[in-house]
Amino acid sequence: MSTPHLQGNAGDYAPVVLMPGDPLRAKFIAETYLENVRCVNEIRGMLGFTGTYQGVPVSVQGSGMGQPSIGIYSYELYHFFEVQSIIRIGTAGGIDDSVQLRDIILGQGACTNGNYAAQYGLPGTVAPIASFRLLRAAAETADALGMPVRVGNLFSSDMFYDDANSLARWQKMGVLGVEMESAALYLNAARAGKEALCICTVSDCPLREEFTSAEERQTGFTKMMELALETVRKL
């Protein structure tokens, strides 16, 4: 069944979906790595594709930017398209002093300044965390590939331009990187009884004013893509 944001039927999506924010990154992954590819979504230009990777069914669906946007797409995939696992493959800003440009971070948990969890009416503060099964699989796959990764907390910010300049305070808490989506994805997965993981490539280090180009962010972070695909293959 179609939803307001995704078209097609439940069978149009594989049980595991890779979810970049940029729909053009979704298109690049589908055209570069998948076989028997078909486009399954074009609504609002948020492209989605389904194919196989070394014989394993996998989908790639853009999510857009921010917690409200990934909240919509991941909710619909979990609840209406029978998707079991979503692996976000995105970019993050490095916060910790040890994090360098192009490092890969596996998001064990996601701190946030957002209000996404308020909808659940919980009598306390929820801690959005990744699926341990996916996290362990990705870490073990990275080891097998000889690919260094960092495992730790991300900060899902609701603001790209933060007037309070709060990143230094999150750095003191050992947060590795800042992005804008993982907390909502982890919360949606928890509420649906499904799985989620965030794999991020460090595209910039804002506290040190170090940056990569827009073109590299769209098509150049292939190690992260290959790690996600190999993780799906080994699940």
d(CA 177, CA 200): 9
Residue burial 98-120, b: 16+ Cβ < 10 Å; e: rest: ebeeebbbbbbbbbbebebbeee
Q: Is residue 4 part of a domain?
A: no
Indicate which CATH number applies to the domain containing 162.
3.40.50.1580
Task: Identify the pLDDT of residue 150.
Answer: 97
Task: Identify the pLDDT of residue 147.
Answer: 96
d(CA 49, CA 150): 29
Task: Identify the pLDDT of residue 23.
Answer: 96
Q: Is residue 173 part of a domain?
A: yes
Q: Is residue 145 part of a domain?
A: yes
Question: What residues of the chain score a pLDDT lower than 50?
Answer: none
Q: Is residue 67 part of a domain?
A: yes
Task: Identify the pLDDT of residue 96.
Answer: 96
Query: Per the structure, how many domains does the chain have?
Result: 1
Q: Is residue 111 part of a domain?
A: yes
* Matching residue, tokens 């362990």: 136
Q: Is residue 226 part of a domain?
A: yes
d(CA 185, CA 195): 9
Domain that holds residue 92: 10-234
Q: Is residue 5 part of a domain?
A: no
What phi-psi label fits residue 142: left (phi over 0), alpha (psi between -120 and 50 degrees) or beta?
alpha
For the annotated catalytic residues, the residue numbers are 204
Task: Identify the pLDDT of residue 163.
Answer: 81
Is residue 60 within 8 Å of 35, Cβ to Cβ? Answer: no
Closest to 206 (Cα-Cα) out of 151, 158, 167, 159: 167
Task: Identify the pLDDT of residue 187.
Answer: 98
Q: Is residue 115 part of a domain?
A: yes
